[in-house]
Amino acid sequence: MTDIQFVVNEEIYNKVLLEKVPNVKRSVWIATADIKDLYVKKLGKMVPFLHIVSDLLLRGVEVRLIFAKEPGTAFQKDFDKYPVLAKKLEQFHCPRVHFKMVIIDGGEWVFTGSANLTGAGMGAKSVRNRNFENGVISTNATFNNQVFEQFDSVWMGTYCDSCGRKQYCAEWRDM
């Protein structure tokens, strides 16, 4: 792979969710505007993506999740199946987030693009039911650092004081 690769539709699902995320070594940071009860293939079965996240947490991988839209009841039911998520998943609700990112191992590998963390967005749904999405996969240190810095600045609350939407953010942090 060259250091920057353009990906579309099912390539996003295959390269990000099936190949990269389950094989993370140290950390995975995910940002999405919308999040749903996404399912992925694991050992020939479809399992909730949260099952993969649970496995990562049990292996000691740091997982951070920023999302804008509150997940629905189906997501919550999947979430409740994996108790480690409530204990170890670092999550932050920010209604202003619209960027979509998957940052692996401190920025060594990055996906950023249009796809939300949903089946239709990430290409996990059938051709007839998925969105038309695109993105970039990168191992370019300069590019990845910029993506990493944007995620980290939101995570650290850099914009919270001047956001103007504090009343809509259930987890607003007094910084």
Identify the top-confidence range among 91-105, 121-135, 156-170: 91-105
By the 8 A CB rule, do 31 and 101 touch? yes
Q: What would the pLDDT profile of 143-158 be if each residue is shown by its tens digit?
A: 999 999 999 999 998 9
pLDDT at 165: 76
For the cut 90, the answer to whether the pLDDT of residue 65 exceeds it is yes
* Domain enclosing residue 117, as ranges: 4-159
92 within a domain of the structure (yes/no): yes
Q: Which amino acid is at 58?
A: L
170 within a domain of the structure (yes/no): no
pLDDT category at 11 given cuts 50, 70, 90 is: very high
131 within a domain of the structure (yes/no): yes
The values of phi and psi at residue 14, to 5°, are: -65, -50
pLDDT at 163: 84
Total count of domains within the chain: 1
10 within a domain of the structure (yes/no): yes
171 within a domain of the structure (yes/no): no
34 within a domain of the structure (yes/no): yes
168 within a domain of the structure (yes/no): no
19 within a domain of the structure (yes/no): yes
Give 74's contacts (C-beta < 8 A, 6+ positions apart). 36, 37
pLDDT at 31: 98
